[in-house]
Chains A and B, each alone.
Chain A
Amino acid sequence: MAEFALTARTPLDGYDRTFGGVTLAEAAGLSLVSAAVPQGGDDAFAAALAEGFGASRPSTGEWVPGDRLGARILGMQPDQLFILFEAPDPDRAAEAVSAALGPAAYVTDQSDSWAMLRIAGRGVRAALERLCMLDLDDAAFPEGRVARTVMEHLAVIILRDGADGFLLMSPRSSARSFLHAVEQSVATVSG
């Protein structure tokens, strides 16, 4: 037993609050690992992704579910994807993806880089239109879409995972500013 033990702290300290019809809650227990596709390695990557996560490769701006570990594969850049999943050991999340994809991807742990906030409920789009310049209409941004954009000067990854539900990710260091911005938007349009 080591003399000192480290306890983890999530960026939003488990925040969970409902305003009228909108629920805001920190998405806990998720690991996020980036996977960059080596040049010329597209076929190998597709095969590894199918083998390792049971998923096809999404195009940039889309996400697809895998068939294990609750994985979602996010197309972030032309040669870079994010894998959002429930790692068996969060301290070994990158290793888990590395094990699944082998040499077909360069992986980097991003789990601690982002605060993750799930926003859901009937008023969700009314709240987000005060923050998000993207068109979140059903036709323009249906389930299965993901985008990196900017809200209130902060980088945000927005992923639609339900008819009235979105997962928002924003850099950890400014998580409190981000939460405040979202909270304010939700509070403004509710009640």
Chain B
Amino acid sequence: MLIDHPLLGPRDEAEFVILGDAGLIDRPDWQAEDAAQLFHDYLHLRDNPAGEHRELWFHEQGDRSWLVVTRNTLTHEIVRVELARDVAIARGRDR
């Protein structure tokens, strides 16, 4: 596979490490009332779509960017690649 890195262009999958569902960005609030349940769901409940899936890839042998790659799990077509940092900020993560 080739991942079209937003800063570097297409790079071979061999340079990357996959983590999994991009939902891992949305880490719950540790002080929430039901924090244990929220963390349980955050960590263990995943969709496994036959189709487009947003997933986290780390450009370990590259620029060390975490990326959110939207990949079709049926065809391996990659429809979008974003810097995970930008995604995280857009989803309200900060400090």
Contacts and interface: CB of A to CB of B under 8 A. Distances in A.
A60 B7 contact: yes
Contacts of A149: 11, 15, 61-62
Interface in B15-56: 15
Contacts of B62: 147-149
B1 interface: no
19 contacts: A59-B7, A60-B7, A60-B8, A60-B63, A61-B63, A76-B63, A77-B64, A77-B65, A78-B7, A78-B63, A78-B65, A78-B83, A80-B64, A133-B15, A134-B11, A147-B62, A148-B63, A149-B11, A149-B15
The number of chain B residues touching the other chain, given as a range, is: 10 to 19
Contacts of B85: 78
A60 B64 CA distance: 11
Interface of B: 7-8, 11-12, 14-15, 61-65, 83, 85
Contacts of B12: 133
Contacts of A175: none
